[in-house]
């Protein structure tokens, strides 16, 4: 066999091996990705201390007259916000709604909504309530404002 022929066969052999190496296949494995639950959240936007207390509108009531009060943040921000709702929470009012000097109804209303005894999501003492995603102010109503005015109160969410 001639030297030239050996070189040509060698080149062909190298090209064949290189061609096979260039067409090697491989497999990559991808892990599964489970769905994740995004937790619902209830956030107080203000009112968590006496220095950031909720603002009430109107600022006064007339003794012996019906009243409707909206409690919100002084900045115009809603009192509470729910993200990724609905969320179920239990409100506890102190003193309880309907007690002396207290409103007779308490509910959550959308900012800008009219506050009436039947408006929004009614809140009852220590009773679970489902709240959809959104921003809310408190609406407190009564049929007869006390002579001394409506007392201050707290709502604890559990």
Give the predicted TM-score (pTM) of the model.
Answer: 0.77
- Residue pLDDT, tens place only, 84-138: 999 999 999 999 999 999 999 999 999 999 999 999 999 999 999 999 999 999 9
Instruction: Give, in degrees to the nearest 5, the angle at Cα 143 between 138 and 149.
Output: 70
Rounded Cα distance, 71 and 77, in Å: 11
- pLDDT the model gives residue 5: 62
Q: Where is pLDDT greater, at 125 or 15?
A: 125
Contact between 90 and 129 (Cβ < 8 Å): yes
């Amino acid at each position: 066999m001639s030297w030239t022929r050996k070189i040509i066969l060698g080149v062909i052999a190298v090209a064949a091996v290189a061609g096979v190496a260039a067409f090697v296949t491989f497999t990559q494995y991808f892990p599964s990705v489970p769905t994740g639950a995004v937790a619902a959240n209830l956030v107080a936007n203000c009112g968590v201390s006496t220095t950031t207390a909720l603002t009430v509108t109107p600022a006064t009531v007339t003794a012996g007259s019906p009243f409707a009060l909206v409690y919100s943040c002084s900045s115009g921000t809603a009192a509470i916000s729910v993200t990724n709702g609905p969320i179920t929470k239990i409100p506890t009012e102190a003193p309880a709604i309907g007690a002396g000097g207290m409103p007779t109804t308490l509910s959550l209303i959308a900012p800008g909504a009219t506050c009436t005894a039947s408006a929004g999501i009614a809140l009852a003492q220590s009773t679970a309530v489902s709240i959809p995603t959104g921003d809310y102010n408190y609406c407190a109503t009564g049929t007869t404002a006390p002579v001394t005015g409506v007392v201050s109160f707290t709502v604890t969410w559990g």
